[in-house]
Structure 1
Amino acid sequence: MADVPSSSGDLDRANYATIWDAVARAVPDRVAVRAQGTTLTYAEFEERAARLASTFVARGLGAESTVAIFMYNRVEYLITLYAAYKIGAIPVNINFRYQGTELAELLEMSRPSALVHPSSLAPAVRDAAQRVALPALVLVVPDGPPRDAPDEAVEIPGAAPFDSALEADPLPPQEQGPEHKIFMFTGGTTGRPKAVEWTHGNLFDSQQFSIYGSLPVDLPTSLDEVTRIAARDDLPRTVCLPLPPMMHATALFNVMNAIVLGGTVVFLPAARFDPRAAVRAIAEHGVTRLVVAGNAIVGPLVDVLDSPEGAGADISGLGTVLSSGMVWSDDLKRRLLAHAPRATLIDIVGASEGGPFAYGVVRGPDDLPCRPRLAPGAVVLSPQLTPVEEVGETGMLAYRGAMPLGYHDDPSRTAETYPVIDGVRYVMPGDWVRVLGDGYVELLGRGSGVVNTGGEKVFPGEVEKVLLALPGVVDAVVLGLPDPRWGEVVTAVVVTAPGAGVTPEQVQDEVGRHLAGYKKPRRVHVVDELQRSPSGKVDMHRLRRRITELEAPAADASGAPDPAERTR
């Protein structure tokens, strides 16, 4: 397995558009993408991206322009991404679960020159347009009726079909430099989306191990070497299936890496995760690299594999299964290995802000229980920013190496998350660990109130604001509670006025009307008071204990807590 040195030679000027152009010239007839019944070779993939890039240029887009992609995993997502890279534009990842208010906020922040979305999400785009001006170029991908109003015809004024933008003559390949940017918007700990700002050069440098670490090759030092590796027929062919959406860094970066290798990217046919479709796709397409999101995806996947329905599915070709930033239990790892005995399971401790910080690697049942080990360049630091090395002590994960520039237009937050220590720049998103010795660590969690549920970040204050606007609700607190599948579940504790009659179902419905579905509380407790301190604060540790006590009777009776429990 290759080491992780920095790039050298002309890879100092690495840009994904330039690399992908070179790979497309080297393997034009190889399949690049299989999605929604469409199969594109590398030549076809490059040509469609070049035609869209030509339309972008004709509409005034260029370097530093932003292109908003409000879409689930589709071939058009990749084409738009590639087209933006070809002209030095910055793609903006938008959560396709957003409602109009959330979409408008992100559009206002990113100020895109173009927006690409499927017809199923037209209602959210229409609602956003009532709050913020849409860009002059809006392209619509036909994928069926609107998500929340299947019988409603939704037209976006000025929008054009996506395919009409592919009628332009292809833009000739233009060498792009490493300084062009890639934004990864993340909810972070403030609830207001922030853009982590990568450059192409830094991102490619940080991905060297992920791209080449499992191959019997030396790390390339030139674009010619990158192309030769991608074109080699004697190397294992990468077939990558991302099950999480590409709006998340782990899925996006692994898809980009697969294209660097001249591999094939496979997408499921629908936005909603279907474990049966996933099992079929793995077997049918010979998937070798599977991207998951911890228990939230692996649980339903192995349930299908363990059932009579999945008994005939051959997924033994899986070589690597990757997850990042999510709870992935040893039990589910063991069950998955029973069906994919040759797979290496890689549980990554990372963040949109940078890393990786640690890896938990499982090559077989003997590697369980899985323990994360610090990655090269990662250290544990105290709040005073000094090394923590004694076994049993706690500290925060930090990483030195290739990393983003910081948060876009947020120098104070950047300085906090990317401190310079003794002349060396680190990234520290705030993850706490306990040192176990020999490089191993035990994860303790993020030192903030953010709820990480199924790979989605939920800021409690955003949900609390909706709850407090509900008639009859006089106080509310939202927090995350442990859950074996989702890692954490959003839990609401609300206080209502006497006689208000507010039900847990009303609380859930109200949040669902205003915010994305994953922000809806899965558990709701209605209580008499929150026992705030004189300063107005809630003792969260005490509240967690109280909720545990409230849920105990329901758990004892049914084996699991009622997801909408009303307690007085």
Structure 2
Amino acid sequence: MEQPIPSNHLSRANYATIWESVARAVPDRPAVRADGRTLTYRDLDDAAARVAGTLRAAGLGAGSRVAIFLYNRVEYLITVYAAYKIGAIPVNINFRYQGRELADLLRASRAEALVHPTSLGRHVRDAATHETLPGLVLAVPDDDGPTEPGRPFATALDTEPLEPQPLSPDHQIFMFTGGTTGTPKAVAWTHGNLFDSQLFSVYGSLPVGVPSGLDEVTRIAARSDLPPAVTLPLTPLMHALALFNVMNALVLGGCVVFLPSGRHDPSVAARTIGEQRVTRLIVAGNAVVGPLVDVLDSPEGAGLDVSSLTTVLSSGMAWSDELKLRLLTHAPRATLVDIFGSSEGGPFAYGVVRGPRDIPCHPRLAPGAVVFDAELREVQDVPGATGVLAYRGQMPLGYDGDPERTAEAYPVIDGVRYVMPGDHVRVLGDGLVELLGRGSAVVNTGGEKVFPGEVEAVLTGIPDVTDAVVLGTPDPRWGEVVTAYVVTVPGSALTAGQIQEQVGRRLAGYKKPRKLFLVDALHRSPSGKLDMRALRAQVPELEAGQHT
């Protein structure tokens, strides 16, 4: 990897200001392609300005929160841009949430507006039984369902466009995450700090040097001699990797491509890459790459061309060397980048593969990343040492409204502020590390965080269930899967499938245990603790017993 570009006074810029400047420079260039239509930069800016006018008319302004409960769609990007235009803060909401989960996040975020698709309207209506909805609700039609609650998104486009406003680089951008407890918390960036942290991602591979100000950023975006930047996020925009890279694409005057459906179809994705000549693909490890490569390797894949890919970015879950090599046979010019970061900041390390010579792929510490041992001594230069990853550099302000948790995740050590989410590594030498996992019990399944306590509370609330424990167990596709051990009252007729079904009615699908074992007892210590290592070790035997 090239060395990161140092920060400069561009940190005093705001994303909406940058995009408005790019739109004035290249108004007729394609900005977004989706659903068979193309929005130019002029179109995108005009739509965002009209929605911004609607938000302003509803009383929203700097610091207001706009909840986005959407699949990857052009309306998602328009809403983000519109919020930025008035200094408001988009709130990323997982489209897999059920009604109560949605209500919890609307309450936690203090949202003043909500944008949702009609296909998820039932969850919004359910949320309304638990929490008063924001005063402005806009519904994006993506099925034949009713727009209630709310009014059609198209009505927001009838508003007079809001003229560009003076915007501060200190306006905030939130990424909601469960942190370490499962309670939704917002990691708060400023526009300026986030832009500084993204300079390498935006400009590191281009022969342009460091832009010295907004005028130069705009000139670079307007150049026609640079490689095309066509970005397709296969992962949801509710995650930082996808959203930030889409934002970066607009900084460069590039084009963002969205699939026609919120449901990921690897065949459609492969065709779209070829048809749109996508250069940058955003994935989530094995869970996304596996099905895509399976299609490309199949007879159907003989007519599919993904050779336009020059960069494939992944973060948040396992991506096997075997799948990296299989993808490279179809996209030989691509550089595969496995980013080890977190919602709280980073990046901490990169795994980079350009060909078979880079296999096995070991992540290399990013500039600014260190490894601390238990005594908070730096040991990243000590082969064989183990410790916790930390990063010093441009980072978020912390958790919004939670100074205690901010102090825990962003400690100041010897006068330097770090971000330390709790990832343990073993030092291999020459800047390479081996990831050992998160110190907490959080389960990372397909890039989604699942907090055992939340699932355990639902399990133990089911009649006839007397005890339960939830943990993550390894899985070749998803990295980890949610696994549960459940104890029921003697003689209960409850089956594992019935329990899984009841959990699925209360929680998002990815939180439902994929593996669930009914056991006679969980042997806890006097303090209530369990031997989690022993429980994980029992899984293969219990699975074998289920199939005999």
Aligned residue number for residue 382 of structure 2 = 390
Aligned to 1:273: 264
Could you tell me how far apart the structure 1 residues matched to 2:112 and 2:454 are? Answer: 28
Aligned counterpart, 2:473: 481
Q: Any idea what SS the aligned residue of 1:67 has? A: strand
Residue among 422, 427, 433 paired with 1:430: 422
Q: Matches of residues 234-313 of structure 1 in structure 2 within 5 Å? A: 234-313=225-304
1:6 paired with 2:6, answer: yes
Higher mean alpha-carbon deviation, 545-554 vs 163-172, is at 545-554
SS at match of 1:287: coil
* Corresponding position of 1:150: none
- 3-state SS of paired residue (1:342): coil
Tell me by how many angstroms 1:221 deviates.
Answer: 1.6
Instruction: Tell me the CA shift for residue 444 of structure 1.
Output: 0.4
Q: 2:408 aligns with which of 406, 413, 416?
A: 416
In the alignment, which of 472, 492, 506 is matched to residue 514 of structure 1?
A: 506
Verify the 8 A CA contact 2:68 2:116 in the aligned structure 1: yes
Cα distance, 1:310 vs structure 2: 1.0
- After superposition, give the CA deviation of every residue in 1:86-113 in whole Å (9 maximum; x if it has no partner): 0100000000110010000000011111
Could you tell me which amino acid in structure 2 is paired with residue 369 of structure 1?
P
How far did 1:4 drift? 2.5
| 1:220-231 mapped onto 2 (5 Å cutoff) | 220-231=211-222
Q: Aligned pair 1:83/2:82, yes or no?
A: yes
**Is 1:456–2:448 an aligned residue pair?**
yes
Is the contact between residue 63 and residue 89 of structure 2 (CA under 8 Å) also seen in structure 1? yes
User: 1:3: Cα distance to partner?
Assistant: 3.8
In the TM superposition, residue 174 of structure 1 has moved relative to its aligned partner by 1.8
Q: What SS does the aligned partner of 1:311 have? A: helix
- State the secondary structure of the residue aligned to 1:445: strand
For residues 271-309 of structure 1, the C-alpha deviation after alignment (integer angstroms, 9 at most, x for no partner) is 111100100110000000000000000000000000000
**Matched residue, 2:126:** 127
Separation in 2, partners of 1:100, 1:383? 42
Q: Deviations over 1:13-47 (max 9, x none)?
A: 11100000011111111100011222100000000
Any gaps of 5 or more consecutive residues in structure 2? none
Return the offset for 1:203: 0.3
Rounded to whole Å, the distance in 2 between the matches of 1:114 and 1:205 is 29
CA offsets 1:484-524 (integer angstroms, 9 cap, x no match): 00000011110111110211111110111000011111111
- Find the partner of 1:465 among 457, 460, 474: 457
| Corresponding position: 1:212 with 2:211 | no
For residue 96 of structure 1, give the secondary structure of its aligned residue in structure 2: coil
Counterpart for residue 140 of structure 2: 141
Contact preservation (8 Å) 1:184, 1:197: yes
Matches within 5 A, 1:294-443: 294-388=285-379, 389-443=381-435
Q: What is the aligned partner in structure 2 of residue 562 from structure 1?
A: none
Q: Which residue of 2 aligns with 1:565?
A: none
Contact 1:378-1:397 within 8 A present in 2 as well: yes
Q: Is the 8 A contact 1:2 1:218 kept in 2?
A: no
Say which SS state the counterpart of residue 397 (structure 1) adopts: strand
Q: Deviation of residue 341 (structure 1)?
A: 0.4
* Alignment partner, residue 22 of structure 1: 21
When residues 438 and 79 of structure 1 are mapped into structure 2, their CA distance, relative to the original with a 3 A threshold, is same
Task: Give the aligned partner of residue 161 of structure 1.
Answer: 152
2:5–2:204 contact (8 Å) kept in structure 1:
no
Asked if 1 retains the 8 angstrom alpha-carbon contact of 2:11 and 2:193, the reply is: no
Structure 1: distance between partners of 2:193 and 2:544: 49
1:65-80 superposed matches below 5 A:
65-80=64-79
- TM-score of the superposed pair, with normalisation by structure 1: 0.95
- Aligned-pair distance for 1:553? 4.9
For the residues of structure 2 that align with 1:283 and 1:551, how far apart are their CA atoms? 41
What is the deviation of 1:188? 2.4
| Kept in 2: contact 1:188–1:450 (CA 8 A) | no
Question: Hey, what's the Cα distance between the residues in 2 that align with 1:63 and 1:25?
Answer: 24
C-alpha displacement of 1:192: 0.9
TM-score norm. by structure 2 comes to 0.98
